[in-house]
């Protein structure tokens, strides 16, 4: 599906993008969507084997590269971005997608579980954005898309760590936009609800039928939409919900 819905939309063909957590799920769908638009894409993931497999499978779609990197480790983030510099020679788009959730009530949550939420969902986007902004300054601008969650505005029992990380990511996104909008940097935050990925667990444990959920490709389409907006316009926040969520039986 082409991104140029009308003549006012901008093409992103020829741009260079990083998608963190791009080996599966939402990140994989975003990487594939950008490749189909002619974007050169670099992905990262914690497992070198999974990164290599994803790159190999996506190569027919376009120019793609990948590196093993844990975005919670600032040193590994720096090494990843320098590798992208060597391979692609620049950066135009950063999609902070890598994330996970540990769901416990506060009294039951360990400090290690708390940090798993905060380090990946909030610290990782900061580390990556810091690297990206340095490169955007040299290229005269860029675009950061943070994949957040409706959990970043709607708290729920058992989600304190995840809620805190996503509330924080939403606030970080808005503040970064205000900091750098006059540097020709646009920042958008995508906030999906229930998405049909491994993040939600075994489909059998979700009742089997996941057709009511948002598909990863739907989130990827939202990313493509915000990236293609005319330069004069920025979609700063997108909320996505299943049209017909699964009803609770009474």
Q: Which fold has domain 16-235?
A: Rossmann fold (3.40.50)
Whether 1 shows a pLDDT value over 50: the answer reads no
Average confidence score pLDDT of the chain? 91
Which residues are catalytic, by number? 162
Whether 3 shows a pLDDT value over 70: the answer reads no
pLDDT digits (tens, 9 = 90+) for 205-223: 445 677 878 899 999 999 9
pLDDT digits (tens, 9 = 90+) for 141-156: 999 999 999 999 999 9
pLDDT at residue 209, rounded to an integer: 74
pLDDT digits (tens, 9 = 90+) for 101-117: 899 999 999 999 999 99
pLDDT at residue 199, rounded to an integer: 55
Domain boundaries, the chain: 16-235
pLDDT at residue 15, rounded to an integer: 98
Neighbours of 202 (CB within 10 A): 8
pLDDT digits (tens, 9 = 90+) for 64-100: 999 999 999 999 999 999 999 999 999 999 999 999 8
Whether 24 shows a pLDDT value over 50: the answer reads yes
pLDDT at residue 213, rounded to an integer: 84
| Distance in angstroms (rounded) separating the CA atoms of residues 105 and 158 | 4
Q: What would the DSSP string read from start to end of the chain?
A: --S-SSTTSPP-TT-EEEEETTTSHHHHHHHHHHHHTT-EEEEEES-HHHHHHHHHHHGGGS-EEEEE--TTSHHHHHHHHHHHHHHHS--SEEEE-------B-GGG--HHHHHHHHIIIIIHHHHHHHHHHHHHHHHT-EEEEEE--GGGTS--TTBHHHHHHHHHHHHHHHHHHHHHGGGTEEEEEEEESSBSSGGG--GGGGTS--TTSBPHHHHHHHHHHHHTS-TT----EEEE--SSPPPPP-
* Cross-strand partners of 185: 142
> What mean pLDDT comes out for the span 104-131?
97
| Distance in angstroms (rounded) separating the CA atoms of residues 153 and 241 | 13
- Tell the residue number behind the tokens 């509330």, with chain if given: 167
């Amino acid at each position: 599906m082409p991104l140029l819905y009308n003549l006012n939309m901008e093409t992103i063909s020829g741009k260079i993008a990083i998608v963190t957590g791009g080996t599966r799920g939402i990140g994989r769908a975003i990487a594939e969507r950008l490749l189909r638009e002619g974007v050169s894409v670099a992905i990262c993931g914690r497992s070198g084997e999974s990164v290599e497999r994803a790159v190999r499978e996506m190569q027919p779609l376009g120019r793609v590269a990948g590196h093993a990197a844990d975005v919670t480790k600032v040193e590994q983030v720096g090494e990843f971005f320098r590798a992208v510099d060597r391979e692609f020679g620049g950066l135009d788009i950063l999609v902070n997608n890598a994330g996970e959730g540990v769901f416990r009530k506060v009294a039951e949550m360990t400090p290690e579980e708390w940090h798993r939420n905060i380090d990946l969902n909030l610290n990782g986007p900061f580390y990556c954005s810091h690297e990206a902004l340095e490169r955007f300054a040299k290229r005269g601008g860029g675009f950061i898309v943070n994949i957040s969650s409706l959990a970043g505005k709607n708290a729920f029992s058992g989600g304190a760590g995840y809620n805190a990380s996503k509330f924080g990511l939403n606030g970080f996104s808005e503040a970064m936009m205000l900091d750098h909008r006059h540097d020709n940097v646009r920042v958008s935050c995508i906030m999906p609800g229930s998405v049909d990925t491994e993040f939600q667990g075994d489909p059998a444990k979700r009742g089997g039928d996941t057709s009511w959920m948002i598909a990863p490709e739907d989130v990827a389409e939202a990313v493509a939409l915000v990236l293609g907006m005319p330069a004069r316009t920025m979609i700063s926040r997108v909320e996505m919900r299943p049209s017909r969520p699964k009803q609770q039986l009474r």
